[in-house]
Amino acid sequence: MVTKAPLGSQILDSVHMVLGMCTEIADELPDALDNDDIVNVGEELGDCQWYIAGYAHTWGFTLPDDVIVDAGAGPNLDPMKTIAQLQDLDKKELAYGKIAPLEERERLINLLHREIENLAYGLDIDMEAQRAKIIAKLKARYGEKFNAHGAINRDLEIERKILEGGK
């Protein structure tokens, strides 16, 4: 299933993924937390992980299957700092032609993946189940392939039912 817009270059795909991570964590997650909406909190963390997976795919990385969760780390994590570092790598490549070492991109995306898993753990959110819900949500939105119409004209009622565990 392809659920991202084909932008035509690796750096543009990377920028798309990093901007998506930023939107989920800096804008949408705080609103969900403020509203005490745990279903939406799980969605935003799951959506961020979708962008993380897209980023890893864009650069040819494989994310680890097992992420070691540090139960005491949750409040000390700063995923926005890690996202900002990814943004800086993309900015430098896009604007100045400075190519970042792949090892640094991989280190940062794995760190962010672990940070999201830790945040979810601290909120008692099962990210494996959440990832399955995100895939079901995207499948309902796009079918088997991304299309702009599906991205713009979302059926939020159906998506919410999927996220709540219904079909």
Number of H helices, E strands in the chain: 8, 0
Is-contact 69 57, C-beta < 8 A?
Answer: no
Burial class (CB in 10 A: 0-12, 13-18, 19+), 148: exposed
pLDDT tens digit sequence for 56-111: 999 999 998 777 676 665 544 689 999 999 999 999 999 999 999 999 999 999 99
3: pLDDT confidence band, cut at 50, 70 and 90?
A: low
pLDDT tens digit sequence for 95-106: 999 999 999 999
The residue-averaged pLDDT of 117-141 equals 90
The domain spans of the chain are 10-163
The DSSP 8-state label assigned to residue 2 in this structure reads B
pTM confidence score:
0.88
The H or E element spanning position 127 is helix 127-142
Using only the alpha carbons of the chain, give its radius of gyration.
Answer: 16
Taking 80 as the threshold, does the pLDDT of residue 2 lie above it?
no
43 is written with which tokens? 């969605």
